[in-house]
Amino acid sequence: MAKLDRLRRVSWLYHFTDARNLPSIRELDGLWSTKKLREMGVEFHAGGNQHSLDADEMFGMDQYVHLCFTKEIPMAHTAKAEGRIEKLQWLYIDDPPSIFEIDGVRYSPEVANKSGAELFSIEHARETFDYVALYDYLDWKVGDHYARRVAAEKCEILVPDHLPLKYFKDLMPKADG
């Protein structure tokens, strides 16, 4: 019997940024890891606070472009509320399988820069990702449904170093405020 591919229902991947970063994203042909941006001497407006940026560097997560499965991630809204992001800009990838095939892409079943977080292969994600919590109706008043949703919202796809513009559906959708 064939294994169930739990990523088959992922229609979109997302990355959030500050709209002020869009000119350099265009100029540099896509998203770069914060490590590469620093090496290139490129200024950028980070969504993460200093603790998050330090944790990225400490755990090696600064060498990846971080993508999420949903736009309902608390960090984006917190960054906007705290003023680290002036205009929240979501970037959309409408062909997730093309991302899953990039060499070195990893999966984190939780916030990747959390102490003790582990990175896994895409094959691991295909076998373990809780797609039901994000893509099916679950009554949040029943059992662990709400906790499953919150956990699934924290999962990340990590692309090493650079994600070119060709992967984005529309680099310039309207900013969210």
Whether 55 maps to a domain, the answer reads yes
Residue 49 lies inside a defined structural domain of this protein: yes
List per-residue pLDDT tens for the chain, 177 residues long. Answer: 456 688 988 999 999 999 999 999 999 999 999 999 999 999 988 887 788 888 899 999 999 999 999 998 888 888 888 888 889 899 999 899 999 999 999 999 999 988 899 999 999 999 999 999 988 888 878 889 999 999 999 999 999 999 999 999 876 544 454
User: pLDDT at position 177, please?
Assistant: 47
The answer to whether residue 2 sits within a structural domain is: no
Instruction: Indicate the number of domains in the chain.
Output: 1
Please give the residue range of the domain that contains residue 76: 21-161
The verdict on residue 7 lying in a domain is: no
User: CA-CA distance, 139 to 145, in Å (whole number)?
Assistant: 7
Given this model, what pLDDT does residue 77 score?
80
Of 159, 148, 10, nearest to 99 by C-alpha is 159
